[in-house]
Structures are given as C-alpha cells and as structure tokens.
Amino acid sequence: MKQPKKNSQKLIYEKFNQLYIQTRKKYLVQFPNRYVTFEKKRSDRIVVLNDSMLSTHLDGKLAYGIFNGGYFNKFVTFDVDCKSPPVARWTTLKLINTLVETFHIPRKEIHVSLSGNKGYHVDLFFDKAIAVDDIRHFYSLVIAEVGRVADGQIEFRPSWTQGVKLPLGVHQKTGRRCWFCDNETLTPIESYDYILEIEPMDTGLITDNDFDLTDRQAEEFEIIARETDITANVIDQSAALQKARRILEVGRLTESNTRHTTTFTLACFYNSQGLEREEAVDAIMEILLATPSDYFSKGSTPDFWLKEARRLVNYVFDNDFTLGTSDKPVTIYKSEILVILQCGTFRQKQLLYAMLVTSKRYGPTFYLTTKTAMKMIGTTSRETVQNAIRTLVEKGYVEYRRKGELDKARSLETGQVRHKPNKYRLLLGEPASDEPHVEASSEHSIVDVALELCEVREIKQYVKRTEFTNRWAAN
C-alpha cells in the first residue's frame, strides 16, 4: 500500500493532533518485541511527541500510542481484546449496536479501527474535553449493557496509566496495518483519507443524559469487572478530585443540577479516604442541605437526596469505586521533608508525612479517620495515632478545620452519641518551585524520600541517635 502524499500526510498529522493527542510529554512506542513508555519529566533527553514521530508511525517503522494527559478525555476508545477473531468481531458489532440503540449515539459518530492483532478499537471523539470520571462512568454503563465477553474484555482507553495505539500504523509484532473499518461490516477501509473526514461529536450526546445503572446492570457490571479486570472501579485522575476540593472548600454544590454526579463523586472520594458508609452519607447530606434550593431541579426533596445518597454510597462501597490517584506520584520538596524531620518522634514524622501526601492528593482541607491513619503509618494502636495528631496540632504543624462536632441526626437515628469526621489542614510553608524535589508514590516511605532529598548529615541534625540507628541507617 502506497504511503499518503506529502500534502495528505500533513493533514493527517493535523487530524491526529486534533482528535487524539492530549499530551505530548508522555507516549507509547511499540517495538517488535515490547512496548516502552516515554515521559518527558523523567529525562530531559526524551523528546516530546511530534509530527516527525507521526511520520514514522505512518511509515510503519514504529507504532506510537498516546495517554490522556491526566484530567480530561477528548475521545474514548473501547478496546475490544479477545483471543478469538470471531468473538472479537461479534463483540465489536454488539458494542456498536449498544451505542446506537441504547445510548443513542449516531452511527456516523462511531469510528472503528483494527487493533493490529485480533481485536478492534471503537472510538468516540468529543468537541469538548470531558472529565475523566464522567466519561469513565459512561463507559461503565455501556459495558454493563453489553454484558459479559466470553473470550476477552473491553477495556477503557486512554488513561494516564494505560495508553492506546494510534490508528493507521503497523502493529510491530503482527505486521498488520491498523486500518479504519466500516462500522456496519467491520471491513477494513484501506485508505488513509478516512481520518480526514472524522469530525468530533457533540459532547451533549454523552453529558446531557443522566444515565444510571439498574440493579441488573450493576450486578452484571460487578461480574464483568471481577472477571475481566477492566479496572473500572477506579475513577482516573484529578478532575473528580478538583471537583471534590471545590465543593469541600465552599461546603455546598458549586453548580446547579449536579446533585447526582456530585453525590457519586463524593462517595468515591470518601471511600478513597477511608470513611465508613454512614459517615460518607452524612458528609454528602451536610453539603446538599447547605446548598440553596435553586441549585436543585423542581420538586427535588431532602428525603429523596438521602435515599439516593445511601443508594449511591452503597453502590460505590460495594464495588470499591475510588478516585484513582492513590498511587499517582506527588511532588515532595526538600523544605517539606526538613520540617517533618523536626516535628517529633518517628511516628509523628510518619503521620505528618502521610498527611502531607494526603493534602497533595485530596486538597488542603482533608478528612483523615483514625482507621486510615493507622493504616498509613503501619500501627494497630488507635492511641498512637490520636496522640500523634494531638501533638502535631499542639506544635503548630496541623490545625483542625472541624473537630469533635456532634452529628445530631445520626445520634438521634442510632440512639448513640456520634460525631462527624474531623477535618484537617496542614500549616507548612509553601516550598520554592526551584528547590530539590522528588516524585513520590504510595510505595515511598518518609525514609525513602528523606534519604533521596537529604544528606545523611542533614537527617542526623534532627533525628536522635537511637531513631537513626533503628529506623534510618538500615535503609
């Protein structure tokens, strides 16, 4: 097959940039025997994704893939991956039919391409970027409606951690060109020009519909998620976190007619932070009851909000939906570590470090239950955690934004005195942007990060000899 002419190539690059590419600083390269992820922040020698690479992709010398950039998706790929080509074909046709018949997506907006192996990529492109949690929720509903895939799975792409290959390249292992296909017959369209005709669809076709899972669909989806490991129990990236932060800061809804999506987002948020179910329901209701009535649709009542909050919290907790940043690295600065080293005992250092990471993930005002804190610092003693928090507050490292507030409604309901979860805020100074820093994930302890950022002599200035010998020197 001849390569596209030079003028056509430039137009194809423009289409790739318009439709697919959301970040140039992180991308996939498929070699004949493996995939490699390149990320600019890991090395200054890494070149950002550019048109020259797209040319190499079209030439078939290498195959490139992209990630979603972290916060929003401007397209979604349903990656149909099956062991058997006939099953892949049948599943793809069923998926397309579901999008058309159940979710009312016009067939002309559905674009299919060969994966290059045994499967297909089914793409929807949007005229506006959609928050990852919203499009992932839509994806989950579609998967639930499609049902179980007997010989494979339908995966969500792209995310920050899972990329997707661009179409029209050559699969480096099979040697097959990844052509677009007719979305009724799945016959390959052996022309590069197909991509030039694609126009993004109106996002309203996705976002204006308040889709919800029926009990049957929820049960079916739980089975699919467990059996195919599609990781749809994680709302990926920071759009949901940003939304939760804004709401927690002002204490009410920030946009009208968002009760349902906000309840779902906050349920995931509170599940991520270790609240119990009733605590999550109470926290959600506190926000809803503080919101002016004109933010809700006509006829919407607190009784209905409570019923829906309980239903959605149970659904989220039963399926362990979380905000998917618990493993995403956060930036820790040397000045922050030096402050933590001075704060007190090793347990207090551990806890303040855990609070620092929590504040960077979930916002400056955050919840932290004793149960979650115990897990963070590896102790089974509630007293150890409570004493450490009390000391950090007394020394001025942390402040309570809410402490020991009686939950009147829950106390009346249970017949026992109940308190709302405490809220905290760190009182650490802002680091300078140019000071030494590291990217730390949940696998990195305070010891790991401190030893990477500080000289041993600096650590010894703030750490007692016995603590250094027992906790630091062994590393």
Tens-place pLDDT, residues 307-354: 889 988 988 888 667 665 455 678 999 999 999 999 989 989 999 998
DSSP string of 360-408? HHH-SEEE--HHHHHHHHT---HHHHHHHHHHHHHTTSEEEEE-S-B-H
Residue 323: predicted pLDDT: 64
- Structure-block tokens of residue 374: 């115990």
Q: Whole-model pTM above 0.75?
A: no
Domain finish residue from 269, 295, 324: 324
What's 413's domain CATH number?
Answer: 1.10.10
What's the chain's Rg over C-alpha atoms? 25
**Shared-domain flag, residues 166 and 27:** yes
Q: Are residues 278 and 365 in the same domain?
A: no
pLDDT at 175: 92
Q: Per-residue pLDDT for 43 more than 90?
A: no
- Tens digit of each residue's pLDDT (9 = 90 or more) over 20-30: 988 788 899 99
Q: How far apart are CA 141 and CA 231, in angstroms?
A: 14
233 domain-assigned: no
Query: Phi and psi dihedrals of 22, rounded to 5?
Result: -115, -25
Residues 143 and 177 in one domain: yes
338 and 300 fall within a common domain: no
Whether residue 41 lies inside any domain: the answer is yes
Say yes or no: 364 and 383 in one domain: yes
Any domain includes 228: no
Q: Does one domain contain both 39 and 180?
A: yes
Specify burial of residue 57 (Cβ count, 10 A radius: 0-12, 13-18, 19+): buried
The answer to whether position 12 is within a domain reads yes
Q: Where are the alpha helices (DSSP H) in 6-131?
A: 6-19, 51-59, 85-101
Query: Among 107-116, 130-139, 217-226, which is the least confidently predicted range?
Result: 217-226
| Comparison of pLDDT for 185 and 247, the residue scoring more | 185
pLDDT of residue 406: 76
Which residue among 184, 207, 230 closes a domain?
A: 207
Q: Are residues 139 and 255 in the same domain?
A: no
Q: Are residues 92 and 145 in the same domain?
A: yes
Model confidence at 407, pLDDT cuts 50, 70, 90, reads: low
In this prediction, residue 245 carries a pLDDT of 64
**Range of the structural domain that residue 280 is part of:** 238-324
Give the containing element (helix H, strand E) for 409.
helix 408-414
Determine what percent of the chain is predicted with pLDDT higher than 90: 32
Most confident of 257-266, 271-280, 447-456: 447-456
* Domain-terminating residue out of 293, 324, 355: 324
Q: What was the pLDDT predicted at 336?
A: 95
The pLDDT score that the predictor gives to residue 206 is 78
Query: How do beta strands 63-66 and 164-165 pair?
Result: antiparallel
Residues 367 and 301 in one domain: no
Q: Are 38 and 45 in contact (CB under 8 A)?
A: no
Specify the pLDDT at position 217. 41
- CATH, residue 146: 3.90.920.10
The three-state DSSP-derived secondary structure of 232-262 is CCEEECCHHHHHHHHHHHHCCCCCCCCHHHH
Binning pLDDT at 50, 70 and 90, where does residue 42 land? confident
Alpha helices for 68-156 (secondary structure H): 85-101, 132-146
In a domain, 401, yes or no: yes
Q: What's the average model confidence in pLDDT over 218-236? A: 35
Residue 219 forms part of a structural domain: no
Are 56 and 125 part of one and the same domain? Answer: yes
- Specify whether 350 is located in the same domain as 284: no
Across the chain, how many H-helices and E-strands are there?
18, 17
Mean pLDDT confidence for 441-466? 86
Give the chain's domain count: 3
| Axis-axis angle for helices 259-272, 302-318 (nearest 10) | 40
Say if residue 154 is in the same domain as residue 124: yes
pLDDT of residue 273: 67
Tell whether 25 is covered by a domain: yes
For residue 229, being part of any structural domain is answered with: no
